[in-house]
Structure 1
Amino acid sequence: MIEAKPVKLSQTTITELMIPSYANFGGKIHGGILLSLMDKVAYACAAKHAGTYCVTVTVDKVEFLQPVEVGELVSLHASVNYVGNSSLIVGIRVEAQNVKKGTVKHTNSSYFTMVAKGEDDKPTTVPKLILENAEDIKRFIEAMRMKDIKAKIKEQMDDALSNIEISQAKEILKKERCIIA
């Protein structure tokens, strides 16, 4: 296995034309279509870095910032922002280009956590990430922090909900739009 690879070696862009069959009744591209394309580019980027098959573990911070229209060219830019032992965090930026108007808009951002799998279908070690510039360093640290925050949130949620009783739940939910049957 290669010891380490630079970020730029696995950066991947996929561009696809948005066709009418991808649209909802409002004429905008379905979010699920965009998520599927993001999953594809995340896989391609992670697999290029890992040199092996990778699977999606989590999708974080999916932001639909602007709608995508039929006829636009959508480009999905993926970059490995962080590597652990067998995991990789891939950052994705989605842009839609209207070729008639000559405009480009940022429509989506997301982070996919991928895990590399070996021939035995078990997690396998990935190459280290060579950080060559300030942007690579910033993204790596940002991903580390996001990972830590997610772990803390999960721990706090587990603690908060592990021993909750119905009487406590009724008090917590009394101003919410729900009914405890």
Structure 2
Amino acid sequence: MFYDAVKRDHGLKHDPVKALIAPRPIGWIGSKSKSGVLNLAPYSFFNAFSTHPTIVGFASEGYKDSIANIEETGAFSCSLATWDLRDQMNESSAPTDSGISEFELAGLTPVDCEMVDAPRVKESPVALECRYLKTVNFDPVDGVEVTASTVFGAVVGIHIDDSLIEDGMVDITRAQPLARLGYRDYCVVRELFQMTRPGGN
């Protein structure tokens, strides 16, 4: 099939875009308001954009507490959402009032980061500590307002549970990270395969 992505005339039961652009890693973003309220939210529009310096970013469709907190304090964390923490990750996605902490709602333990003023998830085996860089808002596309904002941060500290490391390398299958697909679907990384790129890299 082919359909016009602007007209969205696919004729399917649901828009297939998120099912096609998949899997998407989940950025489990921890932040803190100026008044000290802790916030935790999973974002599936998340990825890394530079190795050194390491830069990560996430997009939010709508201006939410995560962005407001990060712009106010200049810091955030990104904890790894894993198979063992799938229910807590899902619970932390619930819409709540600004004064409610999703850490408490999901039964998770907030831990202060070492280098930035933000909380991370103690139960997660991996966490990135990030210094806020900028927020990017898009101009309208073909007259349609873009409601998503993208937040970028420089990674200044990284926590890795020692149980994930073998022979000097991270075995990510031990963490079983989650990724978002379309609809209500997720997947989990349990198997790997290797290929050598042309040129030996």
TM-score, normalising length: structure 1:
0.23
Larger Rg: 1
TM-score, normalising length: structure 2:
0.21
Q: Which has the higher helix share?
A: 1
